Chain A
Amino acid sequence: MKHFFLASILAGALALPAYAADYTIIAPANPGGGWDQTARSLQTVMQQEGISGNVQVQNVPGAGGTIGLAQFASQQKGNPNALLVGGYVMVGAILTNNSPVTLKDVTPIARLTGEYEAIVVPAASEIKTMGDLVEALKKDPGAVSWAGGSAGGTDHIAVGLIAKAAGVDPTKINYIAYSGGGEALAAILGSQVTAGISGYGEFESQVKAGTLRLLAVSSGERLPGIDAPTLKESGLDVVIENWRMVAAAPGLTDEQKAAVSADIEKLAKSAGWQEVLKTKGWQDSYLSGAAFDEQLSKDISATENVLKDIGLVK
């Protein structure tokens, strides 16, 4: 019985919104994924750095974050203590799911972290360079199978952009969607597919151990410490970054928005956050205010175009 008692207390703590919290962070995904890890890192650092005394994380999983987004927009309206973690994947998911609630219905505060895409092949593959891969793609797009994350996500979009830049019909790409980076990685390591695409962090230890060959990264400039050309150097005009952001509730006053922005800026500049970025291998891509708003709308329209090209959005 003791267990049931304990369990019921814990469940109670889970089920009820914690009114004592200074901030409640909604992670619109299941525990374990990138957004959940971002939310839980925010929680730790905010408490550590004294930005907020008590931070709660709540998981509202589903449909590329659009379920959490919709719930956040309707339930937290005007609440200055609620935050939502989101990112580039959400931009695509809003479009592919035809979500009635978009990022316009919340208050984007800042971009926090980013990760560039990496294109890899198994070490035993005959493909040695990005040029070889593009060659094969041009010859028969269907014969080049790509393993990556969920359909319509960053990985899929990146493959569409690569095909387009190489002059190949993006609707012809043979993209094999896996539910997560791990499953996709297993398929690449087992040589089940021709090539793999995902965030560099997913492949890093394999590349270092020599089991995967890194062909290119999707950044604008070469990345420090990573021995691989950019897609641009390989003749493909593609730069894509899988970023994560934090947003506040809709309907905030300017003062409230400024207060949240100040807290997030303090967090992004703190030593604790920099430490988190280092251990997790995330790039610091902090961008806020008008600059972020502008970048966001640019990303949204670019994504819409490519999703139409791949045929995922009508």
Chain B
Amino acid sequence: MSKDIRIKKGLDIKLVGEAEKNTTDISLSSVYAVKPEDFHGIIPKLVAKEGAEVKAGDTLFYSKGDERILFPSPVSGKVVEVIRGARRKVLTVKIAADTTQVYKDFGTKNADIMSAEEVKCHLFTSGCWPFVKQRPYDVVASPNQAPKAIFISAYASAPLAADLDYTLAGKEAELQAAVTAISKLTEGKVHVSVAANSNSPLSGLKGIELHKVSGPHPSGNVSTQIAQIDPINKGEVVWVVNPQDLIVIGELFLTGKLNVTRTIALTGSQFSKPQYVTAIAGATVSDITANNLEDNNTRIISGNVLSGKEVKADEFLGYYDNQITAIPEGNDYEFFGWNKPIFNKISASRALTFSWLTPKKKYDLNTNTNGEHRAFVVTGSYEQVFPLDIYPMQLLKAFMYKDLDEMEALGGYEVAPEDFALTEFICVSKQPHQQIIREGLDLMREELG
């Protein structure tokens, strides 16, 4: 049975540099890295010291909060450097990869005959648990509270996002194995959302509740879908898994190997050939983007332009990311930029901005803020791009003045930072919405648990 979800509020940001549908295999990078900051809210305890030899799947560090949650090495090789920050906090674990990859063998499993506890243990020991994230708070799931449902969004609506129908094609067996396994972890349903007229490899899976999603971004955001299907109430938890991570879990069950090889979309106007490549999580960015980037004044983003992280060429692909975006930096002045008519930028208003005339046009946006940071002034604009039944500005303000009662009452359990990406994009006052939400959620997690 499928239930359709139609979103009206939102905004599709159309950018230049959509990835062309052919995939190149990127040769193995010499150095890979795992950064604990990719797993928000985890305090790492290092296991693999500098100089240690690891196989793909061996533990690098574990979570101080729950020692069962292990974080594996994506490749086999030697730990060459552990970068630490203030108070000796582990920032990056760098691994020099072997030329021939050796995988730790976790043994093939048949999820059909496994109990919930067995599945959980298998995910713990294999280092696959971090792929399971939870709402509220948008962090790695706490294994102690059973979720009321599990959500998988196989529709990526973010700007230039990798086409999941393409990157997941042919992986039905892995997806089915993974869904069978994780469905053991909840009493409730496993909700899978696909684009309205797609032939997603997920739509044929067994043991799921299928939803067809249509409408502008953020219709593909999992919060948007949760709100439509089964909203989170106080005290409830739902889990969220990315489809590309399901493949890793599926492959683990089918082959016994942890293989975090992904199909990654190289997108954005600064790529000379925007296309797909396969790479292993944590790969060096310059290896992935080699001979493909246009010029020097470029911002490279691991992820999409709304919620991704800025990375330098010598840094690494984010652990969860399946996209690298490159757009021009906007570090230049623009004469009378605040009052002249504008045709080459996107705007949600019509204040002498003319993107409403050309809804199909693809824009080449840069990283300029197009204005200075100000107090909240304009009202009513966020609501036009915010499909949740929440008052966005009121919630943001509550998050800023840190009134826990209000944060809870206004819907703080139902949101993730990425849900405020569009409001941040259109914000006339250039307020850092996602950061406000992230800090507020951390506070809620600390105080309310």
- Note whether A and B form a binding pair: no
Measured CB to CB, the residues of B under 8 A from A are none
